[in-house]
């Protein structure tokens, strides 16, 4: 159940956009629950884009100054296109939030880096890339 603030936000956006489209907006939402904190996520009014800030190329490649020719396509002018853009916004919000939480948590850094590397790259060491 979204909290009161995000409910008002979403109603506000809906009033604005329902004037222009016949199809109801598709708005993804999320809820986070941990032992010490509960938080709701809502993409907000936008503007939204499929060019996410937390889903770029990996640092290894970005640091080489390579031009990113593999960015996502722009959202089409459609309900589903807007959904894809809103999902991107939500994804960025969640990634930033959880990354901040992780820094606060200050867990064993090396162990966590290895866990992430294992999950994302199936345990492939950077020296062992194909």
Partner 1 sequence: MINLDKHIKPSRDYYLALGLEGSANKLGIGIIKHPKGELTATNRAEVLSNVRDTYISPPGEGFLPRDTARHHRNWVVRVLKDALAVAGLVGRDLDCICFTQGPGMGAPLQAVVIAARTIAQLWDVPLVGVNHCVGHIEMGREITGAQNPVVLYVSGGNTQVIAYSKNHYRIFGETLDIAIGNCLDRFARTLKIPNDPFPGYNIEQMAKRGKNFVELPYTVKGMDLSMSGILAFIDSLAGDMFAGNKNKLLVAADGSSVTPEDLCFSLQECLYAMLVEITERAMAHVQLQQVLIVGGVGSNERLQQMMAQMVQDRNGSVFATDERFCIDNGIMIAHAGLLAYRMGQTNELWDTVCSQKFRTDEVYVNWRDD
Partner 2 sequence: MASLDYIFQLDVPFITTRQATIALNTLSPDPILKPNEITVEYSTKDTQLSIVFKGLSDRVIRVAISNVIENLKTIVECMEEFDN
Our measurement of the distance from residue 1's CA atom to the centroid of its chain's CA atoms, rounded to an integer in Å, reads 20
Query: Rounded to whole angstroms, how far apart are CA atoms 62 and 68?
Result: 8
CA-nearest of 92, 89, 94, 102 to 40 is: 94
Q: Is 58 in the site for partner 1 (CB under 8 A)?
A: yes
Return the residues of window 90-109 that contact partner 2 according to CB under 8 A: 90-91, 94-95, 98-99, 101-102, 105, 107
As given in the structure block, the two tokens for residue 11 are 């109603």
Q: Is 68 in the site for partner 2 (CB under 8 A)?
A: no
When the beta carbons of 66 and 80 are compared against partner 2, the nearer one is 80
Q: Is 71 in the site for partner 1 (CB under 8 A)?
A: yes
Q: Is 45 in the site for partner 2 (CB under 8 A)?
A: no
Within 8 A by CB and 6+ apart from 25, the residues are 13, 14, 17, 18, 79, 82
Residue 58 interface partner, choices partner 1, partner 2, none, CB cut-off 5-8 Å depending on type: partner 1
Query: Rounded to whole angstroms, how far apart are CA atoms 74 and 97?
Result: 25
Among 4, 22, 104, 129, binds partner 1 (CB under 8 A): 129
Residue 116 interface partner, choices partner 1, partner 2, none, CB cut-off 5-8 Å depending on type: partner 2
């Amino acid at each position: 159940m979204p909290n009161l603030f995000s409910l008002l936000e979403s109603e506000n956006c809906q009033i604005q956009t329902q004037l222009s489209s016949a199809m109801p907006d598709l708005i993804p939402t999320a809820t986070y629950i941990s032992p010490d904190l509960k938080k709701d996520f809502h993409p907000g009014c936008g503007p939204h884009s499929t060019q996410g800030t937390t889903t770029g190329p990996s640092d290894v490649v970005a640091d080489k100054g390579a031009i990113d020719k593999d960015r996502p396509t722009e959202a089409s002018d459609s309900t589903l296109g807007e959904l894809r853009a809103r999902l991107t916004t939500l994804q960025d919000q969640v990634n930033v939030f959880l990354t901040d939480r992780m820094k606060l948590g200050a867990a064993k850094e090396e162990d966590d880096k290895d866990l992430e590397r294992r999950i994302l790259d199936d345990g492939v060491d950077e020296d062992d890339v194909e």
